[in-house]
Structure 1
Amino acid sequence: MNIRAEVWSPLQNTAVWLGAWLHGLEATDNLVDALTDLGGEGLVGVLRDIRQVSGTALSGEEPVLRLVLSGPGEAPALRAGSEAAEATSESGLGALVLRDADPLTSHVLVPDRGGDWRWFVEEQPLPAPAWLSPGEADQLLTQATNEAARLVQASGYRTDVLSSPRLTVGTLADFYDTPGLPAAVPVRAAKLFARADRVAAIVETVTERMNDHRIDPQLLALWRHVRAARMAGVAYAVGEFGRLT
């Protein structure tokens, strides 16, 4: 199993860059460069369509763009049985949901592992997301991490396999943050992403780099909270972009 695919997706930063661009906070050239770095070149050809669809939906209480992630035991927050939900589950990469001027219509953009994107139009209401605030998401992730640490300690787990686990975690956390975020990203969202990156790096260090699966149940329980933090961070950042413009 690819642990990284469960705890990180380039769609997090892709969504934030798109949101900043839609609200006029990033130039098109900067967006295209970021999409290229994130492997989202397939979106470059439909940027005009994305702007046209969302241009009349930039105002409002909800963010114009949000991130949908899912994983084992957690279906994507899309209409059950829809083509968009099936494509998202099949790719395992997540999806972007764009608001439309019609409140009953949503546009779901789903990437595949070959770099192509599929665009689905949903004309029925989608399941309501959790709408966690950054503080709520951070608290849940912190609580889950502390509980996992307690269980690991109680198990008596010890290892000498990796000589410098802290260095490895730091290196992986740097990877997760590449290629960075737009300058307009609010501090609260950036801090939430950073915490999610660090927890993801810890999980990957133990399970993949050390090839040690004795504490998988304790670590894998963190996946859902990492994904929730990323989705909450994107929703908050894009919502704040709207308040800046």
Structure 2
Amino acid sequence: MPCPSATMVVWTSAWLHGAAASDDVIDAVRTWSEVNQIHAADEETALRRELPGPRDSGAGLALLLASIRRADGDAGELVLPVAGDARGLDGSTEFSKNAMRRGEAAVFPTAGLAVVPERVAEGILRWTVHEVSESPAREHTPVGEAEHGMSSAMREAASTLTELDVSHSRPGVRTEIAANVASRPQPSWPEGVPQRCLRVLQRATEVEAILRVATEDAPGGAVSASADRARGQALRPLFAAVRTARRAAVGEMVRTLAHSADKPH
């Protein structure tokens, strides 16, 4: 579950509140891909938002930032939808379908815009810009609660897998997990964001690496269909807890940046 959308949300929100320069946003997003191309989802959006259309040559991120600024954009929101959890989406729109396919999106409700990243080639990330009419109400989860939920879900998953006898160890698993974490991009974050949020995001990345290993069969091993289903059911709450933790951390970072901007200097 790589998440360039989290980087887009936090850094663009920092820029909108005067806590970062536009170049800072572009540099931060480049952590995920050297080339980032902006395209409108359709010709009508392209015309209204002054963006390249879906079949035009892509533009750089600066054009997206300008479009958000023109629309009086404010804080962004991270969306991490999966089948059975469509929180943050707006019904059966093209945006919702695209975000569900990719598993993530950055939404800027006051600007009426949402962007969905897709890796189209090595080193190239395409951001499709959708117009959104409204942003469904979000449930606010405190970071501490989300962090606790992720830890609890991890303990419960481990216990359930052991009871079902579908957990397995394999040589070098710790090294495999560490390599998975090390291979992920390490995005930077604006100054002033809470350290706890950064710890939660790092922990979410580590748990994702564990989940990746836990859902793969050992080389040369085989898992029965029933055991595979049991494993999936045991791990599903942990996948959900990771998404909740990431959304909570990003949301708190954005709120902190907005609050800092509102303080008299």
Whether TM-score is above 0.5 comes out as yes
Report Cα offsets for 1:103-145 as digits up to 9, x if no partner.
xx7322222332332322233x432112111012112212211
Larger radius of gyration: 2
Code of the aligned partner of 1:175: S
Matched residue SS, 1:113: strand
**Alignment gaps of 5+ in structure 2:** 38-60
Q: Does 1:117 align with 2:127?
A: yes
Matched residue SS, 2:131: strand
Alpha carbons 2:108, 2:114 under 8 Å: kept? yes
Q: Paired residue for 2:205?
A: 197
Q: Paired residue for 1:225?
A: 241
1:47 equivalent among 38, 51, 65: 65
Offset, 1:177: 5.4
Q: Paired residue for 2:141?
A: 132
Q: Paired residue for 1:94?
A: 104
Q: Paired residue for 2:79?
A: 68
Matched residue SS, 1:108: strand
Normalising by structure 1, what TM-score? Answer: 0.80
Q: Paired residue for 1:79?
A: 90
Offset, 1:209: 7.6
1:179 equivalent among 172, 187, 206: 187
Report Cα offsets for 1:19-76 as digits up to 9, x if no partner.
2222222233332222222137223431211233245x4xxxxxx1110011132225
Q: Structure 2: how far apart are the matches of 1:96 and 1:241?
A: 17
Q: Paired residue for 1:106?
A: 112
Alpha carbons 2:68, 2:113 under 8 Å: kept? no
Code of the aligned partner of 1:18: T
Q: Structure 1: how far apart are the matches of 2:250 and 2:167?
A: 36
Q: CA RMSD in A?
A: 2.4
Q: Paired residue for 1:4?
A: none
Q: Paired residue for 2:32?
A: 38
Identity value in percent? 27
**Alignment gaps of 5+ in structure 1:** 1-6, 58-63
1:28 equivalent among 22, 27, 30: 22
Alpha carbons 1:68, 1:231 under 8 Å: kept? yes
Code of the aligned partner of 2:105: A
